[in-house]
Amino acid sequence: MARLFNRNFIVGVTGSIAAYKAAELVRSLIRDGANVRVIMTEGAREFITPLTLQALSGHEVHTDLLDTEAEAAMGHIELARWADALLIAPATADSIARLVQGRADDLLGACALATPAPIFVSPAMNQEMWAKQATQDNVQTLIARGIAILGPSSGSQACGDVGAGRLLEPDDIVSAIAEQLSTGALAGRHVVITAGPTREPICPVRYISNRSSGKMGYALAEACINSGAKTTLISGPVSCEPPAGTTVIEVETTQQMFAASMAASATADIFIGAAAVVDFKPATVSDRKIKRSGVKTMNLSLVPNPDIVASVAGSESRPRLVVGFAAETHDVQAYARKKLASKSLDFIFANDVSDQSIGFNSEKNAGVLIGRNSEITMPMSSKRVLAESIIRELSNVLG
């Protein structure tokens, strides 16, 4: 099973004798479906060549912070944003100490500071180094900051000692990460998500639609699946791959999305309206292609479509949480707050689609998750990382 399907991993390799195990680790992550980019510290390159990890990951290994070529393509900020997770394995005592200090004088440290993605650290060192108070204090500091420490395990060491400090086996690292990323916080819950645009036919060949790519809704579905939820995705026409395990209901018009949403949300704990529905549809649909010849002006009379998210929020079998999206071009938050109140929503995610770097069709997004009494700013990150943050908040509220 590809537990890490399409997740972007940075693997940071540091100068431990266990660096050779990074080769197996990269293979194991890829076997589990992950996309992997490798960063090697100067120390790591004394133990294993970048060529090995380049061949295994299928991408050039990143080594230098100040690399003009890399900055043009995938510099440290790009790399940090691209990541869905940063795994430092093996992590030396020194790299752990630098993480604690927040040092950014090499590429790995800079990425660790710049990434909004979760960080996993797999220590590997001599048992005496591991047992030292300095190392233990550093590890506790990282844990307190939310960084997951995987291992080390105990046993005989390369230096001849026996004790704790061995790098966990690569497959065990990957399993631990897969388990932690799928938190199970929504196990036993049913989440219904709408995604993508809708289409309103004018005639058999033309329609009204919008620029929605569906990426945000699909990322939310993936986050729900990873949290153990039964997940129903009601999707307009998009080219995204649904995550394995999702129940997909394909629709075209807003009316079809409305009908599917009302039916599916009757058994849902959470309903998330992430689709960009077409609010108005032609009053009449021609059953023949409308010809151009002889037409000087063409008037299209439009009538409103049902308001899906408001209807779900107002229904008798209302899910416990109803969440809307406000993709706006101006007065984003003010409009979102109005929408939250007027549609009786529990949360609304407000984002500014006039910003070309986020929103429609972009791989990234940023915004504010507004609740009735709360407001959480979510900085620019991949839609997947953002989706995980949103789902984490919602599952906390559900309890």
Show which residues are catalytic: 159
Binder among 3, 9, 11, 15 for ligand FMN (CB under 6 A): 15
Residue keyed to tokens 């589990």:
32
Rounded least distance, CB 135 to ligand FMN, Å: 8
Rounded least distance, CB 35 to ligand FMN, Å: 24
- 254 is a site residue for ligand FMN (CB under 6 A): no
The DSSP secondary structure of 126-186, one letter per residue, reads -HHHHHSHHHHHHHHHHHHTTPEE---EEEE-TTS-EEEEEPPPHHHHHHHHHHHHS--TT
User: Looking at beta carbons only, is 130 or 258 nearer to ligand FMN?
Assistant: 130
The phi and psi torsions of 192 (rounded to 5 degrees) equal -110, 130
**Are the CB atoms for 221 and 194 separated by under 8 Å?**
no
- 92 is a site residue for ligand FMN (CB under 6 A): yes
Binder among 25, 26, 38, 44 for ligand FMN (CB under 6 A): 44
Task: Tell me which residue of 207, 332, 313, 320 sits closest to 262, measured CA to CA.
Answer: 313
User: Looking at beta carbons only, is 147 or 272 nearer to ligand FMN?
Assistant: 147
Q: What angle do CA 277, 282, 285 make, to 5 degrees?
A: 120
Binder among 36, 65, 121, 125 for ligand FMN (CB under 6 A): 125
How many of the chain's residues bind ligand FMN (CB under 6 A)?
Answer: 15
**Position closest to ligand FMN via CB:** 43
Binder among 124, 174, 195, 308 for ligand FMN (CB under 6 A): 124
**Are the CB atoms for 119 and 144 separated by under 8 Å?**
no
Interface with ligand FMN in residues 345-384 (CB under 6 A): none
Q: How far apart are CA 342 and CA 194, in angstroms?
A: 20
Binder among 5, 17, 183, 262 for ligand FMN (CB under 6 A): 17
Measured CA distances, 248 to 5, 109, 225, 256, 275 (Å): 18, 41, 13, 14, 14
Binder among 4, 10, 11, 18 for ligand FMN (CB under 6 A): 18
Amino acid at 35: N
Binder among 41, 57, 127, 253 for ligand FMN (CB under 6 A): 41
Q: What angle do CA 90, 93, 96 make, to 5 degrees?
A: 80
Rounded least distance, CB 90 to ligand FMN, Å: 6
Angle of helix 21-31 versus helix 170-181 axis, rounded to 10: 40
Environment class of residue 157 by beta-carbon count within 10 Å: exposed (0-12), middle (13-18) or buried (19+)?
buried
Rounded least distance, CB 39 to ligand FMN, Å: 11
- 16 is a site residue for ligand FMN (CB under 6 A): yes
User: Looking at beta carbons only, is 165 or 217 nearer to ligand FMN?
Assistant: 165
Instruction: With contacts defined by CB under 6 A, name the span among 86-94, 288-296, 367-375, 385-393 that binds ligand FMN.
Output: 86-94
User: Looking at beta carbons only, is 13 or 391 nearer to ligand FMN?
Assistant: 13
The phi and psi torsions of 8 (rounded to 5 degrees) equal -90, 115
Sites of contact with ligand FMN (CB under 6 A) = 14-18, 41, 43-44, 92-95, 124-125, 129
